[in-house]
Amino acid sequence: GGGHKQNYRWVDFVRKQGEDGKSLEERVEKILYDPVRSARLALVASGRQKRYIIATQNVKEGDVVSTSTEIPPVVVSIKEGNAHPLGALPVGAMIHHVEKFPGEGGKYCLAAGASAQLVKKKTDTCIIRLPSKQEVELDRHCIAVIGQVSNSDHQDKHIGSAWRLRWLGFRPRSGLKSRKCGYDGKKIKSSRPAKLVTRIEPEPKVYKMTLDS
């Protein structure tokens, strides 16, 4: 517990198309630090609207970033920062900020340097491999952003002192120097089949009522 006080920045996780029906083009005005997450934020403006989104690696100030929700018959060309549905992307593309259900906002791969890979495309669904090597089957209309999440050197940085860990809100840890006994360590398992992501609606409860005259 503890740590330095942090102010929350309202980030928009939903990438929508423009109201005309055409793709929405936005210009990156600033890349900002966010104390709440490891990734960086991008201040993005279009028309009379400004908002914060998760920044992509290699996207600089002045770049124009677009989103579209259409799936054309031909696969789309790759440009970092652009958002497209999974059905429009080529197999093998590096993506992040992937939605679980279409229109609900990005859920997968939001941490610094994270990226998923598009593995297979079927008629209605697409399979992606997450950073934990787990495979997940999603609707092909779910939107994903091309590229890697910003701040990819986050893991390589050395914290340096115990004070800095406390500023980040981590209490002292113990048990790190205990010896390993052979039961620890990552075990190599065979890959499981891809998990289909669906929403199970609960069955409506049925109450039986009787009338006694």
Report the interface residues with another protein, using CB under 8 A: 25-27, 29, 45-50, 64
Least distance CB 18 / another protein (angstroms): 10
**Comparison of 49 and 58: residue with beta carbon closer to another protein:** 49
Task: For the beta carbon of residue 66, count every other beta carbon within 10 angstroms.
Answer: 18
Least distance CB 49 / another protein (angstroms): 8
Structure tokens at 198: 């669906």
Task: Say how far apart CA 42 and CA 56 lie, in whole Å.
Answer: 8
**Comparison of 64 and 78: residue with beta carbon closer to another protein:** 64
Least distance CB 174 / another protein (angstroms): 29
Task: Say how far apart CA 126 and CA 9 lie, in whole Å.
Answer: 32
**Comparison of 66 and 69: residue with beta carbon closer to another protein:** 66
3-state secondary structure of 67: strand
Half-sphere exposure of 85 (CA within 13 A, CB side): 25
Give the type of residue at 35.
P
Least distance CB 157 / another protein (angstroms): 19
**Comparison of 36 and 45: residue with beta carbon closer to another protein:** 45
